[in-house]
Amino acid sequence: MKPVKIGVLGLGTVGGGTVNVLKRNALEIARRAGREIVITRASAKDLNRTRICDTHGIALTSDPFSIVNDPEIDIVLELIGGLSPAKELILQAIANGKHVVTANKALIALHGNEIFDKASAQGVMIAFEAAVAGGIPIIKAIREGLSGNQIEWLAGIINGTSNFILTEMRDKRRNFQDVLGEAQALGYAEADPTFDVEGIDAGHKLTILASIAFGIPLQFDKVYTEGITEITPEDVVYARALGYRIKHLGIAKKTSAGIELRVHPTLIPKERLLANVNGVKNAVVVNGDAVGSTLYYGAGAGAEPTASAVVADVVDVVRALTGDPENRVPHLAFQANAIMDLPVLSSDQFISAYYLRLTAEDKPGVLAEVTRILADHQISIEAIIQKEPNHGKTTLPIIMLTQKTLEHEMNAAISKIEQLTTISGKVNRIRLETLG
């Protein structure tokens, strides 16, 4: 059987790692795929740049469209990233009847519905395991390994930059800006870190996971995102004192009212496995009705961890090349005619417990005023820490944990608390999930 010919678009970190893995493990990969897999062409902006991979035997070009239009290429690996020209390249590859493997989470989250429709019409596959959590095979696990379950919820640390920052803030009591600067120096964060620290990157990934878990269309515009920029060292310390750790989570839940899609800082009990995922590592917990909770942990980025997922997709595509297109694993786990446009809840419909930190005047009756407002909104208090005021100050911090409540009730209560003359500044609010 003749070799399968691969065209790689982009020879940066992921592209270079993929070339290395495909070359180094060529024999083992062929044993698994059933056919030899050969990279014949690759594109890069700068053909003279020093690379992390050996491009010997690969025809290089600065024109990626020449690869997707090459009739000899069987599978296109889109590893450029971004929305354009990545989208145009993938659509052209589909039009030419080529299968595509991509690591592009933003493109899938924003334009995946269109891309999958066109791919299905052409009878080609779009594989995207590397788009979420790097080398962790979380998409395959949900789409195939857990296909006998109704997925009830999933929660994940799916952005390594934010996890690194929160880990350093906890372990070394550093502030956000200092750790962000180090993350940028180490290459964990971009010069503009907005996508990472404001939850946009995690939102893209959660969009994909939720679609596969619940059989709903991809709809990033309905994901609630909140970043970690307002988390202080004090919050980290108080959370620890209460038996919790703060993690930046992507959470998707299926409720009787609809689907919750949210990315935000979250207190979780310190004994949970997810609470002990540190540094730049990623982890996802998936809860199914039959299997219960399962945890997937590993490297969420990097050249070869991500290449591991890309190459696994290539093997899947090669295995399916001679199969019946009607019987392939669906792109989003559910058959295309079974995708259900379930309602996605707005943030004020979320149900969660909360951590509240407020600065109050050191005088009698203040705490009673606050608890009365919470009670008026049917919000029960689970725990309270009232600290002594610092020397010479007339205010003190009050920390509360509440039981679960509707978010719109919490929003209304916080608004009233902030209007009290005995409360200074904003009430700092962090959601709390037990993940039990």
Do residues 371 and 287 make contact, with C-beta atoms less than 8 angstroms apart? no
Do residues 228 and 162 make contact, with C-beta atoms less than 8 angstroms apart? yes
Do residues 30 and 63 make contact, with C-beta atoms less than 8 angstroms apart? no
- Distance set, CA 193 to CA 137, 279, 304 (Å): 26, 17, 23
Euclidean distance between CA atoms 101 and 14, whole angstroms: 12
Q: How many CB atoms lie within 10 A of CB 376?
A: 12
Euclidean distance between CA atoms 185 and 177, whole angstroms: 12
305: preceding bond cis by omega (within 30 degrees): no
Residue 221 is which amino acid?
A: D
Do residues 263 and 224 make contact, with C-beta atoms less than 8 angstroms apart? yes
Residue 369 is which amino acid?
A: E
Euclidean distance between CA atoms 61 and 47, whole angstroms: 7
Question: Which is the catalytic residue, given 98, 205, 253, 281?
Answer: 205
Do residues 128 and 139 make contact, with C-beta atoms less than 8 angstroms apart? yes
**Is 416 in the active site?**
no
**Calculated CA dihedral for residues 227, 255, 376, 423, nearest 10 degrees:** -10
- Distance set, CA 411 to CA 211, 300, 414 (Å): 28, 34, 5
Euclidean distance between CA atoms 391 and 169, whole angstroms: 25
**Active-site positions?**
205
